[in-house]
Amino acid sequence: MAPAWIARGLLPGGKLITLEIEPSRARVAREHFQLAGVADRVEIRLGDAHEILRQIAPEGPFDFVFIDAEKTGYNAYFAWAVENVRLGGVIAAHNIFRHGAILQTSSQDEWVIATQEFNRQVAGDERVLTTVFPAGDGTLVSVKIAS
């Protein structure tokens, strides 16, 4: 569970905000945070991520944003993150290889197409310096270098 290792890496006084649309998944996440011993550093917010992000923007700027949601929303999540992460902050996006399917230029799969578009968007964004961590299904890692 990625958010548990993120919570373990927080500096004293740091807080992880995680968003979940499904109450049952939020309950499971809460249990895992308890078992991992990091529940005191984690706040789970329940609801539509796009709406919650609008609500939490004033709490920023943020140091780190980890995107791991529906792939069709990655472009919007990234756009929000670039606006709400401090200079030098990190934006990471999970599953950017789509198990190798992003290489299929004729794919009709909605998530593959969305991931391909996302990768192109980030590659062309001059506000970030980006690389890919190629382990597993790939994680895109961007550092905000300009506003």
Is residue 75 left, alpha or beta, with left meaning phi > 0 and alpha meaning psi from -120 to 50? alpha
Query: What is the pLDDT at residue 2?
Result: 65
Average pLDDT value for residue range 60-73: 95
Tell me the per-residue pLDDT of 123-144, one tens digit each, with 9 for 90 and over. 999 999 999 999 999 999 999 9
Tell me the per-residue pLDDT of 85-115, one tens digit each, with 9 for 90 and over. 999 999 999 999 988 888 888 889 898 999 9
Question: What six digits make up the tokens of 97?
Answer: 């290889």
Q: Are strands 42-46 and 85-94 parallel, antiparallel or unpaired?
A: unpaired
pLDDT at residue 1 greater than cutoff 80: no
Average pLDDT value for residue range 45-70: 96
Q: How confident is the model at residue 61 (pLDDT cuts 50, 70, 90)?
A: very high
Tell me the per-residue pLDDT of 5-54, one tens digit each, with 9 for 90 and over. 899 999 999 999 999 999 999 999 999 999 999 999 999 999 999 999 99
| CA 115 vs CA 26, 100, 102: distances in Å | 25, 11, 7
Question: What six digits make up the tokens of 58?
Answer: 């004033």
Domains and CATH numbers, the chain: 1-47 (no CATH), 62-147 (3.40.50.150)
